[in-house]
Structure 1
């Protein structure tokens, strides 16, 4: 069945909130590495593929690996990516990177780890022009690195003696095309794929997208509340109804309107899950149940339809300012939560 495209939940910068690209300039170096780690966990690698193992290793003994991201479980040659996080108050220069590469190649020679697929340079302010030009010319990059190491230049003063013939051969054989910049915008884009973590870290206000449309036929996850609605209409006309009979009956439009309410709340549930986590929507359901239960359970109600209308109308009148979702509520949301409560078997219309 063809459906209309919907506008997905996304982020909107709340007035007064500093954009993430600016916020990352102010965070601590350890937070920057943690951000890269979380972003790598979300990073799409094509299709449904993601890294199978990601670990932050920054600190003493990290072997020049701030973040290790593996394509396969075993740490194997060219089957992992190394992310080097550098949170400096300036764009990266060759002097910043050459000393890190000395450490990297010495660990490769010592077989601390196998050669990675890529060596990513991650810096909030990016790489400077000199380093950018070197990265774009791998052979020239390799030559300058070796020449400057031998001459003790570009941050390598006093380290010329550390370049052994064996280490030089290893460097000459290494493909410098694998040393690349990982831009901050890419890191933030990967991190934003976990909307909840992104919201918590950067304080963004989520923008709610379009709610899903109810399909022509009820889906599997609608089964419980749909069965309860069937009981309501069967009781009303004093005749057992199958689903197809209900849809074709005089109650059909009312039934479909209730399904539309369910899907309004389903959109709210998705927004809540992506922004605050599932617990926030569950907390809203608790509030609604507390607010409508006395109305639904009133002995004045003799039929399931009475209780259904008491519940949905009562929900519409509730004030739920304590919920973080309150500013995002739409007219059908709270009545729709009644059907979610029924779907969880926490509420019934027919005795």
Structure 2
């Protein structure tokens, strides 16, 4: 029996650091490498696909095998337009409840040897094992010693590969396949750590949504060039239509504008460039469709104003842009970086796509 004097009152020690308001609200953040280990197999697969998009800077093309019978290839990075024959790297993804062991990889080693022997593809330049709980010590030492890795792969072929590569066929290691095995370069096998995966993932648009932590700072917005870009042609024509409707005469160039309208025109272009800057920022920091969702939110927030009766096209444009500035975009992942000018500029993006009209024609009304 435990003596009373061996029992001590529970008295938690002082926190290592002063807790912040965020800690009180959400708890102490879970480090990303630990969070990754809690992913379900489906989440790990999604994370892997997201991470693979960070490899596009290294390869001409990156592809993930999605069909049945992966032939030992999960993610392939091709270094030239020649595909499999032009040099490629393989990334084999594993989600287990333990660090990767030698017994976890023998069938994968067997697949890459067998299918390259069969001519399904050339042997990869590099072959990386990436696991949700990293690589165990024993496997790590084997990978660092290619000759030992080859010897262990040979010893385990009968138990792991012979009937494991193809469920319906037995593949003994003999004759030409054995000669291919002996000549195979086992130094291609390597690993990618979870820390490396997270670092690569941080360079994708998916990182902030999956791990939180907020968006990075936005770059400075470009000043609109004096010469109008081709991409601006439609919304600028719509602005000229609005000015012309107010002046009761056609307006076809900036030189025809008064000083006050010229100042207004510059403001509208600056707003458009703000929105374009946000579009580019979103492309690099949040998943596809996030910015388009924001555009739809602005559209639905202003369309009733835009479709209402106004004295002229300029009044309609100003009323619509003013309404856009008041819309709360609380549900969009970009909300922390969205400025009033962005929301106003989105109106001009919508006009550029003929979703909003400042001077509707009989067909557009």
What TM-score does the superposition give when structure 2 sets the normalisation length?
0.68
Structural RMSD (CA) = 4.2
Q: Which runs of 5+ in 2 are unaligned?
A: 1-24, 165-170, 361-365
CA distance in 2, matches of 1:233, 1:75: 55
1:92 aligns with 2:100: yes
Aligned match for 1:36, one of 23, 48, 65: 48
Q: 1:310 maps to which residue?
A: 319
Partners of 2:75 and 2:90 within 8 A in 1: yes
Trace 1:55-70 onto structure 2 (pairs within 5 A): 55-56=65-66, 61-67=69-75
Q: How many residues align?
A: 323
The alpha-carbon distance between structure 1 residues 99 and 258, as it changes in their structure 2 partners (threshold 3 A), is closer
Q: 1:331 maps to which residue?
A: 340
CA distance in 1, matches of 2:236, 2:120: 60
In the TM superposition, what is the alpha-carbon distance from 1:121 to its structure 2 partner?
Answer: 0.8
Aligned match for 2:299, one of 263, 276, 286: 286
The alpha-carbon distance between structure 1 residues 97 and 257, as it changes in their structure 2 partners (threshold 3 A), is same
Q: 1:118 maps to which residue?
A: 126
**Offset from partner CA, 1:26-69 (integer Å, 9 cap, x none):** 2233543454345435522547x223x431357xx544444556
Q: 1:26 maps to which residue?
A: 38
CA distance in 2, matches of 1:211, 1:297: 37
The alpha-carbon distance between structure 1 residues 289 and 62, as it changes in their structure 2 partners (threshold 3 A), is same
> Which structure has more RCO (C-alpha within 8 Å, separation ≥ 6)?
1
Q: Which runs of 5+ in 1 are unaligned?
A: 1-13
What TM-score does the superposition give when structure 1 sets the normalisation length?
0.70
Trace 1:1-351 onto structure 2 (pairs within 5 A): 18=30, 20-40=32-52, 43-44=55-56, 46=58, 49-51=60-62, 53-56=63-66, 61-67=69-75, 76=84, 79-109=87-117, 114-143=122-151, 145-146=153-154, 148-149=155-156, 163-164=173-174, 166-188=176-198, 191=201, 195=205, 205-207=214-216, 209-210=218-219, 212-216=221-225, 217-234=227-244, 243-245=253-255, 249-271=259-281, 274-275=286-287, 277=289, 278-293=291-306, 297-298=309-310, 301=311, 303-319=312-328, 321=330, 326-350=335-359
**Offset from partner CA, 1:111-151 (integer Å, 9 cap, x none):** 565433332211122223443344334345435544x559x
Which shifted more, 236-245 or 222-231? 236-245
Which shifted more, 174-183 or 331-340? 331-340
